[in-house]
A and B are shown apart, each in its own frame.
Chain A
């Protein structure tokens, strides 16, 4: 699939949680072609002294409305500035979007039971994968972790999606660091229990996908290695070009230093050297 660089009109840019924002962009070509787990590399207008693009995972793509959804957390100048962009601004309502970039989630061909684990904003790049698996009638369970209940911003969409298929666990399993919703603590314990109970019920998972803070991904990868379940992780790195040329974003792997942008962001977890 060729890379596209398109001018995308901001349709919506709203605060949806603590330091969390949802930006909806009219990006027709990318909305039609992006696959779950791929990302877009965005040039934000109005901050000429900050020259680099920013990579964002895509939360949802809607070819019918020509839109893509980006869930982002403010982590510095660029994302802080992004929150000020509005659809009705004359000069700051269009961003330049390059994509779709990267290796998508690649569940095994005959996957029967999948577990998706999202930590914080890491819940977003798993949503399109969840849609794909549910559509393919793969039994899909979801574990979501966040600092607080307010930060579990993807929970609603996952609830609607998962309730549309028959599953042992309809709602996503949730954890919060402060115990304000679901299990108190990190998501890792929920993952360990899910893996174990699935194995005991003789319906083990044959695919786990995880995106979130690196300690979470590493812990889940280790659990999966122990349970002999194929696991993929989505790695985040600082990026310059976003298309494989500059080698800024490399990830240490058993095959050497690979580029998060085009060799990833999704990697076979057993290949990642943590």
Chain B
């Protein structure tokens, strides 16, 4: 079940989608984080961010919208509290890095170089912040430039998380590859909105938010499949994975690893069940090594 995601060795292909699992401690009664391929922590910025006003979520058909706004207590807190705990548990750690500017991304990575973490996921795709986030991730030149700068700052595996809110996902993926990324992850959430017609008001305080859950899976699969053909980097696939079979679909489309996100909210055991589901699929199909499934879609 072990996979190599751009230099990050994972004991199985399953990690968590950032922002859905905090840093793992909240799920400790349900999930032994050391059994996951990796834990991807919630997006962290240099100093704390307060995030957006409430309501921050809305339930939508087969999914949900969120506009949390990357609320986090800053990188120092992550390094003082969460990373030591994850280290104690024996977890493989991917830190999701956020920022309002190029300099902030670099400053966060610079701090994290002192910490025992195993890879970075650069979040240039959050739809819920006004500066940084998705605004960086929609312009190929900008993507290449930020990835280059961070590449120069670290030798650790560098995963770049892409937004689906673009015309051509492959142009952005190529830019990340040109900038020196070791892997890409996709998709972040799809920008959407929800309206309460009776009250004639938006359902969420920030009006728009990011769509996730089963409803986004077809879009995510298409983008993983397109990127797998367009670039040679390994892909961390995500978007609506609720069970092992969903995860296998992503692997067949070209993902080397997968992340479980919204499913954690519905079922706190989701990550474990996805790992078991992939293993079960391999057994049923006589697959000895999960790597044989990566991109094995027969078109």
Contact = CB atoms under 8 A, between A and B. Distances in A.
A245 B22 contact: yes
B29 A248 contact: no
A51 B212 CA distance: 11
B294 to A, nearest CB: 28
Interface in B66-118: 66, 68, 71
A98 interface: yes
B interface, over-half SS: loop
Q: Give 8 closest A-B pairs by Cβ, nearest first.
A: A245-B22, A245-B26, A3-B29, A240-B265, A244-B26, A248-B57, A241-B265, A2-B29
B55 A244 contact: no
B62 interface: yes
Interface in B149-165: none
Interface in A230-252: 237-251
Contacts of A240: 57, 64, 66, 262, 265
22 contacts: A3-B29, A3-B30, A3-B268, A5-B269, A51-B59, A51-B63, A51-B213, A240-B64, A240-B262, A241-B20, A241-B265, A243-B27, A243-B268, A245-B22, A245-B264, A246-B66, A246-B265, A247-B51, A248-B66, A248-B68, A250-B56, A262-B26
Interface string B258-295: 00001011111100000000000000000000000000
Most buried by B among A239, A243, A256: A243
Nearest to B56: A248
A32 interface: no
Interface in B101-152: none
B57 A53 contact: no
Contacts, number: 93
A81 to B, nearest CB: 12
Interface in B1-60: 19-22, 26-27, 29-30, 42, 50-51, 54-59
A257 B69 CA distance: 12
A110 to B, nearest CB: 33
A53 B51 CA distance: 23
A77 to B, nearest CB: 8
A245 B63 CA distance: 18
A3 B268 CA distance: 11
A51 B21 contact: no
A2 B61 CA distance: 32
A43 interface: yes
Interface in A196-254: 237-251
Given A245-B22, A248-B66, A238 B54 contact: yes
Most buried by A among B51, B55, B265: B265
A16 interface: no
Given A238-B54, A257-B51, A244 B22 contact: yes
B218 to A, nearest CB: 15
Contacts of B61: 49
Contacts of A257: 50-51, 71
A238 B57 contact: yes
A155 B297 CA distance: 63
A50 interface: yes
Contact of B262 (A43, A51, A78, A247): A51
A133 interface: no
Contacts of A238: 54-58
Contacts of A51: 59, 62-64, 213-214, 262, 265-266
A78 B269 CA distance: 22
Contacts of B57: 52, 238-240, 246, 248
Interface string A9-50: 000000000000000000000000000000000010000111
Nearest to B16: A245
